[in-house]
């Protein structure tokens, strides 16, 4: 066995140029396949980890996928808004534990400004139900209007620290013609990097958004809102939340609500209740289901990519087959010598299969090495551009499975030249006919 392995290795080294190219092409194709797989699973994981604690997402009547995308993934915009009273009513339901309001539509230097309540930081969960952690500062207080909490990427890219001032522009995009510059926000908290779209958010109190828009439209009517709410603060479970708002929130229409339930089992009945909400046409989305819908759409693209990269690997392995087959004729002498010193035909067969196996395994190893090199280089780029956090962890069971499959395939392909040389060496015996 050791003899055989040594022979195979020395024989491979003897042909290191042609086989090196074969090795390289298999390595590159393996890297491509594993890279696509890694990106796919990381993207899924990243998406799934973005709203891990949220049981329902509510938006104005519309497509669940769209609601999911704009509410937690910073992709696209709501077409319609939700009335503030709906928020109040849903928050008062017995079934809801907490409701986070989200008001979108403003931006600062390309980053989304989202109006929300301070309990966002208490309830919003990422990844494996981990809470958001502050790197510096803290959440805005209940009575703060022009405080802002910024995501890690915003802080890093714009070089902001605690105390930096943010002037919010209406609409999203880098260049906006309407700026709310009379009402700058002050950074009071910076979040730890999460690898989720939260990194790209500027979170401000709903009051701030309301005040800012008031200021802009020249309205300075702070008087009418109390009866607008029309409910008794004393018995209100929202007291804590609403006390923080100075009342302008009544003017703010919301883009989406994130809901945490007392009992997750009630998700379907609450969803139906919201979908049939009498005052307003709403759509309640179960994030998990909406994600599945999204994946089923993207699945076609994913599978196409997988198919293509799979074929690239097969092409790489066929390159190996060609290289091994073309060398067979000149190796008949070698096999006759080995036969003459006592090698069995099965030894000759194993030698060739072993060579194919070594090339494939080495190709896999190269592919993995290239993959991790690529991941290390691509990690910061992907995180900042797509909010996808790539783990540099060990290959997953699925990836090992793919590697195993490729190795088996290489072994299977190795049988072709092995079988040919086996037949030839049976016919040649110790005297090759050349």
Contacts to other proteins by CB under 8 A: 3, 10-11, 13-14, 333-334, 336-346, 429-432
Closer by beta carbon to other proteins, 49 or else 425: 425
Closer by beta carbon to other proteins, 119 or else 331: 331
Closer by beta carbon to other proteins, 9 or else 315: 9
Burial class (CB in 10 A: 0-12, 13-18, 19+), 384: middle
Minimum Å gap between C-beta 423 and other proteins is 14
Minimum Å gap between C-beta 415 and other proteins is 20
Closer by beta carbon to other proteins, 133 or else 337: 337
Minimum Å gap between C-beta 365 and other proteins is 22
Closer by beta carbon to other proteins, 6 or else 269: 6
Minimum Å gap between C-beta 24 and other proteins is 21
Closer by beta carbon to other proteins, 343 or else 356: 343
Please give the Cα distance from 431 to 11 (Å, whole number). 20
Minimum Å gap between C-beta 44 and other proteins is 48
The label of the residue with tokens 């799934």 reads 48
Q: How far is CA 328 from the centre of its chain?
A: 47
Minimum Å gap between C-beta 26 and other proteins is 22
For 188, the enclosing helix (H) or strand (E) is: strand 179-191
Pick from 5, 243, 252, 3: nearest CA to 106: 252
Burial call 3-39: b when 16+ CB within 10 Å, e when fewer: eeeebbeebbeebeeebeebbebbbbbbbbbbbbbbb
Give backbone dihedrals phi and psi of 316, rounded to 5 degrees, phi first: -60, -45
Contact status, residue 182 vs residue 220, Cβ threshold 8 Å:
no
Which three-class secondary structure state does DSSP give residue 433?
Answer: coil
Contact status, residue 105 vs residue 255, Cβ threshold 8 Å:
yes
Minimum Å gap between C-beta 421 and other proteins is 15
Q: For strands 165-170 and 96-108, give the pairing.
A: antiparallel
Closer by beta carbon to other proteins, 234 or else 341: 341
How many C-beta neighbours within 10 Å does residue 123 have?
18
Which three-class secondary structure state does DSSP give residue 77?
Answer: coil
Minimum Å gap between C-beta 31 and other proteins is 29
How many C-beta neighbours within 10 Å does residue 429 have?
12
Closer by beta carbon to other proteins, 235 or else 433: 433
């Amino acid at each position: 066995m050791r003899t055989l392995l040594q022979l195979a290795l020395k024989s491979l080294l003897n042909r290191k140029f042609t086989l090196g190219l074969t090795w390289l092409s298999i390595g590159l194709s393996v890297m491509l396949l594993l890279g696509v797989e890694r990106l796919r699973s990381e993207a899924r994981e990243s998406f799934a980890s973005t709203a891990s604690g949220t049981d329902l997402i509510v938006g104005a009547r519309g497509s669940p996928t769209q609601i999911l995308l704009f509410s937690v993934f910073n992709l696209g915009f709501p077409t319609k808004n939700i009335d503030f009273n709906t928020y109040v009513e849903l928050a008062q339901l017995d079934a809801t534990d907490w409701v986070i309001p989200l008001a979108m539509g403003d931006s600062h230097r390309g980053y989304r400004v989202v109006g929300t309540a301070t309990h966002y930081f208490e309830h919003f969960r990422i990844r494996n139900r981990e809470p958001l952690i502050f790197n510096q500062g803290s959440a805005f207080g209940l009575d703060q209007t022009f405080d802002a909490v910024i995501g890690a990427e915003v802080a890093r890219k714009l070089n902001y620290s605690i105390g930096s001032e943010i002037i919010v522009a209406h609409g999203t995009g880098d260049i906006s013609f309407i700026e709310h510059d009379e009402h700058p926000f002050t950074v009071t908290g910076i979040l730890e990097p999460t690898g989720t779209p939260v990194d790209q958010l500027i979170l401000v109190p709903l009051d701030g958004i309301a005040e800012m828009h008031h200021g802009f439209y020249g309205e300075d009517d702070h008087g009418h809102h109390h009866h607008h709410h029309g409910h008794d603060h004393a018995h209100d479970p929202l007291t804590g939340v609403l006390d923080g708002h100075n009342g302008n929130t009544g003017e703010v229409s919301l883009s989406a609500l994130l809901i945490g339930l007392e009992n997750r089992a009630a998700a379907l009945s609450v969803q139906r209740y919201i979908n049939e909400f009498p005052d307003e046409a709403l759509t309640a989305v179960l994030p998990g289901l909406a994600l599945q819908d999204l994946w089923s759409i993207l699945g076609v693209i994913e599978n196409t990519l997988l198919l293509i990269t799979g074929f690239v690997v097969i092409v790489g392995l066929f390159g190996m087959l060609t290289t091994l087959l073309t060398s067979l004729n000149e190796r008949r002498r070698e096999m006759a010598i080995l036969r003459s010193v006592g090698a069995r035909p099965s030894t000759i067969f194993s030698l060739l299969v072993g060579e194919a196996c070594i090339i494939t395994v080495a190709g896999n190893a190269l592919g993995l090495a290239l993959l991790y090199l690529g991941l290390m280089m691509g990690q910061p780029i992907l995180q900042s551009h797509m909010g996808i956090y790539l783990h540099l962890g060990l290959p997953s069971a699925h990836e090992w499975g793919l590697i195993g499959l490729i190795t088996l395939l290489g072994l299977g392909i190795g049988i072709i030249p092995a079988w040919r040389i086996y037949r030839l060496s049976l016919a040649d015996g110790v005297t090759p006919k050349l």
